[in-house]
Structure 1
Amino acid sequence: MTDITHIKSPVSQMKAWRDGHTGWLVLDRPERKNALDEAMWRAIPPLMSALAGDRDIHVIVIRGAGPDAFAAGADISEFTVNRSGSSAARAYEQTNVEAFEAIANAPKPVIAMIHGYCIGGGLAIALACDMRIAADDAVFALPPARLGLAYPVEGLRQLLAAVSPSTAKEMIFTARRLNALEALRTGLINQAVATDQLEETVQELAATIAANAPLTIRASKLTINELTRHPQSPDTDLLERLSAECFESNDYAEGQKAFREKRKPVFKGD
């Protein structure tokens, strides 16, 4: 049994803590199927920063509270104010984008643990994660065409990183719901598992990742992100620096020593 260290949250509807080497970020508004109001969107960047800055955390999991949803999207009841005009809509969209970027740019792996509804902004949060593991009761959809709003460009970029342009267009043009098997087939998620096996599956995945070399994982994530975003002109100085940090690390020496001694390495991230 590991000790749980709670992280102070700016809002009661978001919870965060460290359990062993895993950091948890929970969307905690189950009475509204974890629909995110503006305060919740604004809480994501500082909470992700706190989780990413904890040296004992090697992997982060994002999940929804309650039995019904990962997140049913943004809180539509706020749209009369937050999207009352183009200026207000742009400001609100920037808040969304800052949340997506805080997840996508975290230097540690981020896993979305998905059950129930994963709709709109909720799906965008999941897409900002590095991996998506879903229960077989999960439901996915992008409904902006039913609301008359433009989907954020950053959200579209993340969608296109997971599925083909044709599938992305179909999801947005039709706004239809996909079940877990359809989502798996299209590449929207990495795995679909039985609902009662979801938490165990994610915890095992997180433990596997946490046991590997943190600097190698960090370098790999940031390199893949850079090559994906700028395939024609990646920041080669950044990529070379990330590689050098691995080869100059104590973890690299530990990995070689453990191999020679025929034992499991114990990585510390330095």
Structure 2
Amino acid sequence: MTYTDKMLARVEDGIGTMTFNNPERHNAVSLEMWEAAGSILEDFASNPAVRVVVLTGAGGKAFVSGADISKFEDERASEEAYNRYNAAVDRASTLLAEHPKPTIAMIRGWCLGGGVGLATCCDLRICSDTSRFAVPAAKLGLGYAPKGLKRVVDLVGPAFTKEIFFTARQFSAAEAHQMGLINRVLPDAELDAYVRDYATTIAGNAPLTIAAAKVAIGEILKDESDRDLARADAMVQACFESRDYIEGRRAFMDKRKPAFEGA
């Protein structure tokens, strides 16, 4: 599937892959790309063939390097254009952060500004040992809204978040892993195969169980007064009442791989 020549999508073996395809600008994201990303994520959410979503960047040198500044004169020239741009960014980021399927950011090379924001919207982040991370907002005079900052704080805590935003410096893959920003760091040559195996493992597990765990973890991270634990409990109960629970038990007894349906 191609939504624009700058955003690519494919579905294979239960894995939906969304690729930022602007390598000549280190996969900087334009308005058109943000809007296409939202459409891709919506399609992946409604597609039963997609069990897990992987985000990546084309070209081998960058995941996403932030906003495409070369487009700002057109995309942010008026208040109307500025509002449209922000709405597209918020829509895509929210769809990713609240996606019903597990999401993985496969990061190689530069991950800057909005790229870090996209990565923190994913459930899991796996990078190459050559990756570099930075949020250079303090060098540009930009402000970050609390919604985006909270995702970083939830991952690395307030002290490391302050270091990332106050210094605006680049962090190595090892530093990002030590902070908790990254789940796994792989040699560059091993990254694709590792993420493929990782995503395949998730895609082969029970979708209802994964969805219930994702919702429960999301509710736990909210303030206690905002939690919807009844929703999480209902999803747990649905697991016990599902055909997949029967299949899982039978496969265990038969010593075979289960064939989960997500129902």
Contact kept in structure 2, 1:134 and 1:192, CA below 8 Å: yes
| Deviations 1:146-176 (CA, angstroms, capped at 9, x unpaired) | 1111113322121112111111111111100
Match of 2:143 in 1: 150
1:174-185 matches, within 5 Å, as 174-185=167-178
Does residue 190 (structure 1) correspond to residue 183 (structure 2)? The answer is yes
Match of 2:229 in 1: 236
Q: Distance in 2 between matches of 1:91 and 1:100?
A: 14
Q: Distance in 1 between matches of 2:78 and 2:153?
A: 27
Q: Distance in 1 between matches of 2:249 and 2:168?
A: 51
Q: Distance in 2 between matches of 1:88 and 1:14?
A: 21
Cα drift, residue 249 of structure 1: 0.8
Match of 1:41 in 2: 34
Aligned residue type for 1:191: R
Q: Distance in 2 between matches of 1:94 and 1:198?
A: 33
Q: Distance in 2 between matches of 1:8 and 1:184?
A: 33
Q: Distance in 2 between matches of 1:171 and 1:84?
A: 29
1:212-223 matches, within 5 Å, as 212-223=205-216
**Aligned residue pair count:** 263
Aligned residue type for 2:171: L
Give TM-score, length-normalised by structure 1.
0.92
Distance 1:201 1:96, change over 3 A: same
Q: Distance in 2 between matches of 1:81 and 1:154?
A: 26
Does residue 103 (structure 1) correspond to residue 96 (structure 2)? The answer is yes
Cα drift, residue 216 of structure 1: 0.4
Structure 1's consecutive aligned runs of 4 or more residues displaced over 4 angstroms after TM superposition are 80-91
Q: Distance in 1 between matches of 2:62 and 2:123?
A: 19
Contact kept in structure 1, 2:124 and 2:183, CA below 8 Å: yes
Distance 1:128 1:172, change over 3 A: same
Match of 2:196 in 1: 203
Unmatched 5+ stretches in structure 1: 1-6
Match of 1:225 in 2: 218
Match of 1:125 in 2: 118
Q: Distance in 2 between matches of 1:231 and 1:134?
A: 33
Match of 1:3 in 2: none
Give TM-score, length-normalised by structure 2.
0.94
| Deviations 1:208-267 (CA, angstroms, capped at 9, x unpaired) | 111110110011111211221233431123112211221111101111111222222111
Give the match's secondary structure for 1:163: helix
Give the match's secondary structure for 1:164: helix
Distance 1:85 1:156, change over 3 A: farther
Contact kept in structure 1, 2:38 and 2:88, CA below 8 Å: no
User: Kindly, what percent of the aligned residue pairs are identical?
Assistant: 40
Q: Distance in 1 between matches of 2:226 and 2:59?
A: 44
Q: Distance in 2 between matches of 1:67 and 1:175?
A: 24
What RMSD over aligned residues (CA atoms) do the two structures have, in Å? 1.7
